[in-house]
A and B are shown apart, each in its own frame.
Chain A
Amino acid sequence: MAWVWFHRFGSPPWVYGFARRWAPWFGAVAGVLMLVALYGGLVVAPPDYQQKDAFRIVYVHAPCATLSLMIYTTMAVSAAVGLIWRIKVAHAAAAACAPIGAWFTVATLGTGMLWGKPMWGAYWVWDPRLTSELILLFLYLGYMGLRAAIEDPQKADKASAVLAIVGIVNVPIIRYSVVWWAGLHQAPTKKLGADADMTGDMVWPLLMMLLAFTLYFVAVFLIRLRAELLRRERTATWIREVLA
């Protein structure tokens, strides 16, 4: 089979149809997984021996934080694809990512502050992880602001793509800030098995919640992508057919 099957992702009508068909399925599976993970995180998982029940904030904080980084990476890669190969759908995908990612960054910072207060005694400290996450929020806001400020859509696509690509440097900084610099934020919890940081009944709700949030993002992204394509393809004949 020739490696051309993915070319259809460059076609706005095909992508619009794909998004319309699949968004409800991604959303439904995400909803079910979220409910099961919520039960696992709030009821099944035992309290942490140090943080007691406060540790359960991880079930909402970690998925939000993961999405804030994953969405930015998706946005920057889409912007780069759009810039290099001049694919309109890629620019639309990048634009669709930005508001979702910005909201998840707000949720990451907010839930982190609510976790920080009982653990560190303060809602906010200028810790490397918190500061780099705040910079991520400014990058999202800057990207959306730049798009909104330029009237010509093609110029807006190019300028915002450059900003998104430059800003990707902040993603590894956020990821490794807890390793590179000393701060209050804990290092990543990654050990499993006999000497695990978390027991199995603590881990499965977290992994399930991460999967649920990822599928949820895909569903919301596909809805936003449809809106973005409708706005961009204003003169296309396929719009008449899909709206009929």
Chain B
Amino acid sequence: MSEFLSMSGYGRYLWPAFALGFGVVVLNLVLAWSSLRSAKALARRRMEMRS
């Protein structure tokens, strides 16, 4: 296991690179959902104000 994590000595570059890449994958999803939630809330508020 430690051999796998060490990645022939390049683990300190490889794992942060994967964390960054997949971190952006997760972040983009979270930000998109949050943007949709706030757009829905805004649209509902507008509807309530108009009715």
Q: Report which A residues bind B (CB closer than 8 A).
A: 27, 34, 47, 52-54, 56-57, 60-61, 63-64, 99-100, 103-104, 106-107, 110-111, 114-115, 117-118, 213, 216, 219-220, 223-224, 226-228, 230-231, 234, 239-240, 243
Interface residues of B in 1-42 (CB under 8 A from A): 7-11, 13-14, 16-18, 20-25, 27-29, 31-33, 35-36, 38-40, 42
Given the interface contacts A53-B8, A114-B20, does A243 sit within 8 Å of B40 by beta carbon?
yes
Given A64-B21, A103-B27, A223-B32, A118-B40 contact (CB < 8 Å): no
Asked whether A114 and B35 contact (CB < 8 A) given A61-B21, A234-B43, the answer is no
Task: Assess the B28–A111 pair: CB atoms within 8 A.
Answer: no
Q: Does B35 lie within 8 Å of A224, measured CB to CB?
A: yes
Other-chain contact of A53, B10, B43, B46 (Cβ < 8 Å): B10
Do the beta carbons of B10 and A107 come within 8 Å of each other? no
Chain B residues near A228 (CB, 8 Å)? Answer: 39
CA distance A197 to B8 in the complex (A): 21
Known: A114-B16, A227-B39. A240 touches B47 (CB 8 A): yes
Q: A99-B28, A240-B47 are in contact. List 13 more A-B contacts (CB 8 A).
A: A27-B29, A52-B7, A54-B8, A54-B13, A56-B14, A60-B17, A60-B18, A61-B17, A99-B31, A115-B17, A230-B36, A230-B42, A234-B46
The interface residues of chain A, by DSSP majority, are classed as helix
State in angstroms the CA–CA spacing of A111 and B16 once bound together. 8
- Residues of chain B within 8 A (CB-CB) of A60 are 17-18, 20-22
CA distance A47 to B17 in the complex (A): 17
Closest to B37 in A: A227
Q: Known contacts A220-B29, A230-B40; decide if A243 and B47 are in contact (CB<8 Å).
A: yes
B38 to chain A minimum Cβ distance, whole angstroms, is: 8
Closest to A56 in B: B14
For B38, list chain A residues within 8 Å (CB): 227
Cβ–Cβ < 8 Å partners of B25 in chain A = 34, 213, 216
A103 to B25, CA, bound (A): 9
Given contacts A60-B17, A226-B36, contact A52 B28 (CB under 8 A): no
| Given contacts A224-B32, A224-B35, A106 and B24 within 8 Å (CB-CB) | yes
List A contacts of B39 (CB < 8 A).
226-228, 230-231
* Residues of B with C-beta under 8 A to A53: 7-8, 10-11, 14
Residues of B within 8 Å of A216, CB to CB, are 25
- Give the shortest distance, in Å, between A73 (CB) and chain B (any CB): 18
Residues of A within 8 A of B11 (CB): 53
Assuming the contacts A114-B16, A118-B13, asked whether A64 and B24 have C-beta atoms less than 8 A apart, the reply is: yes
Give the residues in chain A near B13, CB-CB below 8 Å: 54, 57, 114-115, 117-118
Residues of B within 8 A of A52 (CB): 7-10
